[in-house]
Amino acid sequence: MTREPAARCIFRFALPLMFGNLFQQVYTFADTVVVGQKLGMNALAALGSTEWMVFLAFGAIQGMTGGFCVAAAQAYGGKSFRKLGCAVFNAGMLSVIMAGIFTAVGQTMIGSLVTILGTPGEIREMAGLYLKWLYAGIPVTFAYHLGAAVLRALGDSRTPFWAIALASMWNILLDLYLVMLFDFGIAGAAGATVISQLLAAGFCWKRIAEEPALKGHWRSGPEWRMAKEQLQLGLSMAFQSMITAFGGLVVQSAVNSFGVVFVAGYTAANKLYGLLETAASSYGYAVVTFVGQNVGARRSERIRQGMRSAAVLGCLTAVLMSAVMLFGGTGILKCFLSGETATVVQSLKIGTRFLRVLAAFFPFLYLLYILRAGIQGLGNGLIPMLSSAMQLIMRVGCALFVTRLMGCAALFWGEAAAWLGADLLLLLFWKRTYLHVVSSMNGEL
């Protein structure tokens, strides 16, 4: 990613990730559709009530493993293969340790989280059961996300795509068998996800074992100075996701207070939102790798060109996704909802209102992913974490205070406000961070 035209390079790298994320959302869709149609609206609401609790753990894992591998991208861009081997070894060691901690803490906190969030009594048991099974698979989640992060650092976005495509197909089949055929209920949906991620992890690590740049450069032990830097960046990126998730948990608590019908409509809209957000996260992954490799290659002007190209690509893509929400959103939401006609109509209206607000501000979400990823690629984890804190302030403020004035609509506008606030913060710090890294490059030269 240090040679060909920046826009083409970023788009080519992001495209397989988009399809991979699309497949990942497809099997999330499969969970939602199967649970909603087979187990009913209460089960769908239970699934939705856990959404931010799932993101709390899985978003932190994804951010942490991505942070561990920024050093690998920089080493690969600078063609320092011994350093690359150290970075990958350290990332694996740190991931094993953190997987044990996350699993223990997650299982311990399930009951408290479900209760604190005010999950409606009729769906509380199902929500807790779903989380119990999903959190049990945290080591598998670490293995998959670390493997995908290592491959992206090496400039390979195709293998993670094929891995998640394979996992998605298995997840759909397992959903049909475990939930529809064998009646394992909501636990079956969680089990299908864990098994599918295990297959994706195996596929990624098989490819890593065959990587020529790593052969002969593995270390028999950690390099502690590098490991410390990786841990710092990984933890900052994990905290960034956890801050976002904490805001989401507060919002989810407010969502739960409006009752099961509102939870179901909000959940259905969130599923479509998650699907249309996948291109944004794909551009983010591409930008982290692009910036990281060009930092390693000491090509500062190319970093600026890449950021401009990514911003244009992101905004154009966001406009297309907004059109999908505006013109096809209501029809898609109907796939998730079943039950009495009156309650389905109510939930459908709620979901459609949410989508209209999201569509109006979607380009700002795409810019948020790109700016945050660019700063992370420069090796700075603090500013992205502060941007997540800004999102937290906006979401929590709307959920706790603005709902008293606007009612449930404040929850929809709080999402847009969170994107705008984070964008402003990132724009303020982008140039300063970039110039600091350029100065460091010149000093080394």
What would the pLDDT profile of 73-117 be if each residue is shown by its tens digit? Answer: 888 877 888 888 888 999 999 999 999 999 998 888 887 777 776
Helix (H) or strand (E) holding 296: helix 278-296
Q: What is the pLDDT of residue 289?
A: 87
Whether the CA torsion 259, 262, 264, 269 is positive or negative: it is: negative
Orientation angle between helical segments 51-68 and 70-77, nearest 10 degrees: 30
Q: Residue 241: what pLDDT?
A: 78
**DSSP H helix total and E strand total for the chain:** 17, 0
User: Which one is predicted more confidently, 170 or 97?
Assistant: 97
> What average pLDDT score do residues 127-142 get?
88
- pLDDT tens track for 268-282: 888 788 888 889 989
Residues 360-377 have a mean pLDDT of: 94
Say how far apart CA 180 and CA 256 lie, in whole Å: 27
* For residue 247, pLDDT beyond 90: no
Residue 213's pLDDT is: 78
- Tell if the pTM clears 0.75, that is, is over it: no
Better-scored residue on pLDDT, 437 or 65? 65
Residue 444 has pLDDT above 60, yes or no: no
How many angstroms separate the Cα of 160 from the Cα of each of 202, 247, 381? 11, 29, 24
Question: Span 20-41, mean pLDDT?
Answer: 69
Listed residue (51, 57, 50) closest to 106, CA to CA? 57
Q: How far apart are CA 255 and CA 48, in angstroms?
A: 10
Q: How far is CA 48 from CA 31, 234, 255, 374, in A?
A: 11, 28, 10, 31
Give yes or no for a contact between 336 and 355, defined as CB atoms under 8 angstroms apart: no
